[in-house]
């Protein structure tokens, strides 16, 4: 059955039914857009978290073996305690740099589906003033 053209022949019930159907379709599309945006942002967050983990593990391994090598190397020219303290300070600086880099990547992640919020605002504006 073909829908009747809009005009004087359309009843209020038909117009209301069409409007309800259009609103439901619009709502479904907005929900799908929100899901897509959230998936994208979750992917970014996962990559940033992986970088945190990789930086932590890599930093640990490097710190462990390089610290031992540097400490024993410095122990040839100074007391072993001072050599260990110097090596520890170097790795503390490296860890701070890795943390700052990971934090800057994490700040790029937006928890709010921005595009969906904007289109919902536009939809609400249109619903208030459909003739504009």
Supply the pLDDT for residue 4: 52
Question: CB–CB of 37/111 below 8 Å?
Answer: no
Supply the pLDDT for residue 3: 55
Residue ranges for the chain with pLDDT beneath 50? none
Is 79 among the domain residues? yes
Is 24 among the domain residues? no
Supply the pLDDT for residue 115: 80
Is 61 among the domain residues? yes
Question: CB–CB of 48/109 below 8 Å?
Answer: yes
Cβ-Cβ contacts under 8 Å for 74 (sequence gap 6 or more):
82, 83, 86, 87
> In residues, how long is the chain?
132
Is 129 among the domain residues? no
Is 4 among the domain residues? no
Is 7 among the domain residues? no
Tokens of 98: 């890795």
Supply the pLDDT for residue 101: 94
pTM (2 d.p.)? 0.39
Supply the pLDDT for residue 5: 55
In the chain, the number of structural domains is 1
Is 19 among the domain residues? no
Is 17 among the domain residues? no
Supply the pLDDT for residue 131: 64
Tokens of 127: 């619903």
- Residue 41: which domain range? 30-112
């Amino acid at each position: 059955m073909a829908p009747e053209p809009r005009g004087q022949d359309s009843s209020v019930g038909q117009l209301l039914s069409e409007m309800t159907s259009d609103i439901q379709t619009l709502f479904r599309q907005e929900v799908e857009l929100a899901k897509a945006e959230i998936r994208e942002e979750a992917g970014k967050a996962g990559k940033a978290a992986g970088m945190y983990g990789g930086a932590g593990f890599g930093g640990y391994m490097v710190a462990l073996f390089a610290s031992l090598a540097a400490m024993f190397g410095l122990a040839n020219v100074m007391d072993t305690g001072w050599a260990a303290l110097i090596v520890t300070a170097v790795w503390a600086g490296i860890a701070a740099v890795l943390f700052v880099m990971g934090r800057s990547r994490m700040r790029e992640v937006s928890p709010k589906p921005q595009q969906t919020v904007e289109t919902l605002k536009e939809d609400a504006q249109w619903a208030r003033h459909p003739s504009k």
